[in-house]
Structure 1
Amino acid sequence: MDLTGKQRRHLRALGHHLDPIVQLGKAGLTEGVVAAVDAALEQHELVKVRLGTECPDDQNDVADALSEQLRAEVAQILGRTVLLYRRHPKEPKIKLPPPGG
């Protein structure tokens, strides 16, 4: 599922006031971090991931890896923060604008 510009804008607006739920440290992107982000997406649908200053990984690489491994969409990369979205399969909380309109 690719997000449209309008849908990304909507998610960025919703994510603006969120605090990062998961933070990457000097170990970078580990299996534990992936599991934590997966659990957070399952519960919240929209999650901010913060890369600490000591994190060796590039934010674009982290965003790509997480979106691929967790079947999530990258709504925004701003500085060292990545905003990820994954629709809940049974009970979606976030209603996105329709793709064409």
Structure 2
Amino acid sequence: MLTSKQKKFLRAESHEIQPIFQVGKAGVNDNMTTQISEALEKRELIKVSILQNCFEDNQDVADEIAAATGAHIVQVIGNTIILYKESSNHKQLILP
């Protein structure tokens, strides 16, 4: 579980990052969660964009992705989810 200080740090770090995944009307599937998990291993911090045609609630989508990948939800703001998962091989971020 991330502390509020760590979340604040990660929000600041994610400011310049562009979303690399999009969730559409099909919702979250196994292939998507596998790719997100691989991206988290390489980058540790990613953004996921939720498109307008996605009928699921944004928080539900974030919870589903986090549960499937083992990531922490840093923030759900609008249609964007910020996820963090500590990398075992490519550690780049050092949390406060």
TM-score, normalising length: structure 2: 0.94
**What's the Cα RMSD here?**
0.9
Q: After TM superposition, where is structure 1 displaced by more than 6 Å over at least 4 residues in a row?
A: none
Structure 1: state its 5+ residue gaps: none
Note the 1:1-101 alignment, pairs <5 A.
2-97=1-96
Contact 1:51-1:59 within 8 A present in 2 as well? yes
> Residues 24 and 51 of structure 1 are in contact (CA less than 8 Å); yes or no, is this contact kept in structure 2?
yes
Moved more, 56-65 or 6-15: 56-65
d(CA) in 1 for partners of 2:50 and 2:67?
18
Partner amino acid for 1:69? A
TM-score with structure 1 setting the length: 0.90
Aligned length: 96
Q: Which runs of 5 or more residues in structure 2 are unaligned?
A: none
Distance in structure 1 (CA, Å) of the matches to 2:90 and 2:34: 21
Q: Retained in 2: the 8 A contact 1:29–1:57?
A: no
Instruction: Give the deviation of 1:90 after TM superposition.
Output: 3.1
For residues 41-98 of structure 1, the C-alpha deviation after alignment (integer angstroms, 9 at most, x for no partner) is: 011000100000001221101111111111110001100100000000133100100x
The 3-state SS of whatever aligns with 1:19 is coil
